[in-house]
A and B are shown apart, each in its own frame.
Chain A
Amino acid sequence: MSDTVLQVEELHAGYGHVEVLRGVSLRVDRGELVTVIGANGAGKSTLLKSIVGMVSPWEGRVVFGDRDISNISPEKAVRSGVALVPEGRLLFGAMSVEENLELGAYASRRGEGAAAMSRVCELFPVLSERRTQSAATLSGGEQQMLAVGRALMSNPRLLLLDEPSLGLAPRVISEIFAALDVLRASGMTILLVEQDARLALKHADRGYVMRTGRVALEGSSTALLANDDVRLIYLGGWNGPNDARADTELGG
Chain B
Amino acid sequence: MISSTGLFQGRHGKTVDTPELLQFALAGLKNGSIYALVALGFTIVYASTGVLNFAQGEFVMLGGMLSVWAYSTLGLPLPLAGLLGVLLTGLVGVIFELLAIRPRKDGDPLALIIITVGGSMLLSSLARHLFGPTEKALPRFSEGSVNIFGASLERQSLWIFGIAAVAVVLLTFMYSYTRLGKAMRACAIDRNAARLVGIEPRMMVTLSFGLAAILGGLAGLATTPLTQTAFNVGPSFGVKGFAAAILGGLGNPFAAVLGGLTLGLLESMSVAFISSTYKDAISLIILLLVLFVRPQGLFGGSSRQKV
Chain A positions within 8 Å of B, measured between CB atoms, are: 52, 54, 73-75, 78-79, 83-84, 86, 90-95, 99, 102-104, 106-107, 150-151, 153-154
Task: Give the contacting residue for A106; candidates B189, B190, B199; CB below 8 A.
Answer: B199
- Return chain A residues, CB-CB under 8 Å to B198: 75, 78-79, 106-107, 154
B residues in contact with A103, CB < 8 Å: 182-183, 186, 194, 197, 199
Q: Decide yes or no: A95 and B189 within 8 Å by CB, A75-B200, A103-B182, A103-B183 being known contacts.
A: yes
Which residues of B lie under 8 Å from residue A99 when comparing CB positions?
A: 182
Residue of B nearest to A153 (CB): B197
Q: How large is the interface on B (under 10, 10 to 19, 20 to 34, 35 or more residues)?
A: 10 to 19
* Known contacts A74-B196, A106-B183, then 11 further A-B pairs from the complex at CB < 8 Å, ordered by chain A residue: A75-B198, A83-B196, A91-B193, A92-B185, A92-B186, A92-B193, A94-B306, A95-B189, A103-B186, A103-B194, A103-B197
- For B179, B189, B198, B306, the residue with the greatest tally of chain A CB atoms inside 10 Å of its CB is B198
Q: Kindly provide the distance from the CB of A210 to the nearest chain B CB, expressed in whole angstroms.
A: 22
Q: Report the separation of the CA atoms of residues A153 and B194 in the bound assembly, to the nearest whole angstrom.
A: 14
> Taking the nearest CB of chain A, how far is it from the CB of B158, in angstroms?
35
**CB-defined contacts of B183 to chain A, threshold 8 Å:** 103, 106
Q: Is B302 an interface residue (CB 8 A)?
A: no
Give the total number of A-B pairs whose CB atoms are below 8 A apart.
64
Whether the Cβ atoms of A94 and B196 lie closer than 8 Å is no
CB-defined contacts of B186 to chain A, threshold 8 Å: 92, 95, 103
Question: Which chain B residue lies CB-closest to A99?
Answer: B182
Cα–Cα, bound, A102→B198 (Å): 12
* Chain A residues whose C-beta falls within 8 Å of the C-beta of B196 in the assembled complex: 52, 54, 74-75, 78, 83-84, 86, 90, 151
Distance between A142 CB and nearest chain B CB, rounded to angstroms:
17
1/0 contact string of B169-198 vs chain A (CB within 8 Å): 000000000010011011001101111111
How distant is the Cα of A54 from the Cα of B189 in the complex, in angstroms? 17
* Interface residue B152 (Cβ < 8 Å from any Cβ of A): no
Q: List 26 A-B contacts (CB under 8 A).
A: A52-B196, A54-B192, A73-B195, A75-B195, A78-B197, A83-B196, A86-B192, A90-B196, A91-B193, A92-B186, A92-B189, A92-B190, A93-B189, A94-B185, A94-B189, A95-B186, A99-B182, A103-B182, A103-B194, A103-B197, A103-B199, A106-B179, A106-B198, A107-B197, A150-B197, A154-B197
Chain A residues within an 8 Å CB radius of B185: 92, 94-95
A95 smallest CB distance to B (angstroms) = 7
- From known contacts A54-B192, A90-B190, infer whether A104 and B197 are also in contact, taking CB-CB under 8 Å: yes
Contact indicator A54/B197 (Cβ below 8 Å): no
A-B pairs, top 7 by smallest CB distance, nearest first, are: A107-B198, A90-B193, A74-B195, A78-B198, A106-B198, A106-B197, A92-B189
> Is A54 touching B195 in the complex (CB atoms < 8 A)?
yes
Smallest Cβ-Cβ distance to B195: which chain A residue: A74
The distance in angstroms between the C-alpha atoms of A71 and B250, with both chains bound, is 36
- The minimal Cβ–Cβ distance linking A89 to chain B, given in whole angstroms, is 8
Complex CA–CA separation, A94 to B303 (angstroms): 11
